[in-house]
A = this chain, B = another copy of it.
Amino acid sequence: MIIVMKRDATEELVQKAAEKVERMGLKAHVIVGTERTVIAAIGDKREEMRESLETVAGVSKVVPILAPYKVASLEVKPEPTLVKAGSLEVGNGKCGVIAGPCSVESEDQIVATAKAVKAAGATALRGGAFKPRTSPYSFQGLKEEGLKMLATAREETGLAVVTEVVASEDVELVAKYADVLQIGARNMQNYRLLEEVGRVDRAVLLKRGPSATIDELLLAAEYILNEGNTRVMLCERGIRTFESHTRFTLPLATVSYLHQKTHLPVVIDPSHGTGHAALVPDMCVAAVAIGADGIIVEVHPEPDQAMSDGYQSLDLPTFDATMRRCRAVANAIGIQCGAEV
């Protein structure tokens, strides 16, 4: 850590700040500059240290040198992690394809969708049974009935099931039916829930909150990893910006950046990331091209009849055509996207 003193900090204040650093178990190295004095604090103490040093008299600012996350870091595990969950493989050259409706609506709907997305090349089925909705007046999901329908669809197709869990008290129930527990963007910092999914034997898809920094996302992943669950996938689903022609702004650079910082695989969600079905296919192709370890796509047999998110769902022919484009690009860059068809 680098502690920058104020321009007018006396020698005595510098001395006191240095002593505080030493009391924290770090080595303090004072450097007198021409305009400012800085103290280099040597050793590995992180975020909490920064905060308490910022309030010391005479200190102007504190600059962290090390990233605040540890277990997720590429420095700790330099080789990329491949997450497996049933039919789904994500990471290390495998681009998994998770597809299905926003909400599970009926057994017919989910089974038919599962068959169709599998035929198009998907390697896992998504579908919401517990739906966190912005408005209390919106459809809230079929709950356990929906989970059972997902399990039926798995039986019929062999596709791994990815579904959201919204509360720590539901983890056990959802884990009974699902292969992958999805943590939604609204719950990225629901720490009780993160700890709970860290304790079950299910892979986790952790979505980035729309205003979370990358460091915050990785620290949320650490809550899960710390409990012993190593099968964590990070999911970029767009950030909130001033842009209004898309629902969120989807920064694909996140993939490249995360690949340089963490061993965890990175999945892209172009459905929420754009919010418009007309923009989703191109974004799927671009996600594969940039090296995403997976894509998660909302697909519905009849988008205009969907109980939620129809406006950003692909219909079956469009999903099939999109998968063909994705495979062409994947072949060109030497990775595998979804299943062979």
Residues of A within 8 A of B (CB): 2, 4, 7, 29, 31-36, 38, 40, 42-44, 46-48, 51-52, 54-57, 63, 65-66, 68-70, 75, 132-139, 166-169, 186-187, 189-192, 209-211, 213-214, 216, 219, 222-223, 226, 239-246, 249-253, 255-257, 260, 273-274, 277-279, 282-283, 285-291, 303-311, 313, 325, 328-329, 331-333
Alpha-carbon gap, A65 to B285, bound state (A): 31
Contact A246:B252 (CB < 8 A) given known A38-B2, A42-B33, A51-B308:
no
Alpha-carbon gap, A290 to B169, bound state (A): 42
Closest-CB distance, A281 to chain B (whole angstroms): 8
Chain B hits for A226, CB < 8 A: 136
Instruction: Using CB atoms, name the residue of chain B closest to A194.
Output: B136
Partner of A304, one of B52, B187, B245, B255: B52
Contact A51:B309 (CB < 8 A) given known A35-B66, A282-B291:
yes
Chain B hits for A278, CB < 8 A: 256, 260
Instruction: Using CB atoms, name the residue of chain B closest to A304.
Output: B55
Contact B240 A329 (CB under 8 A): no
Alpha-carbon gap, A268 to B308, bound state (A): 33
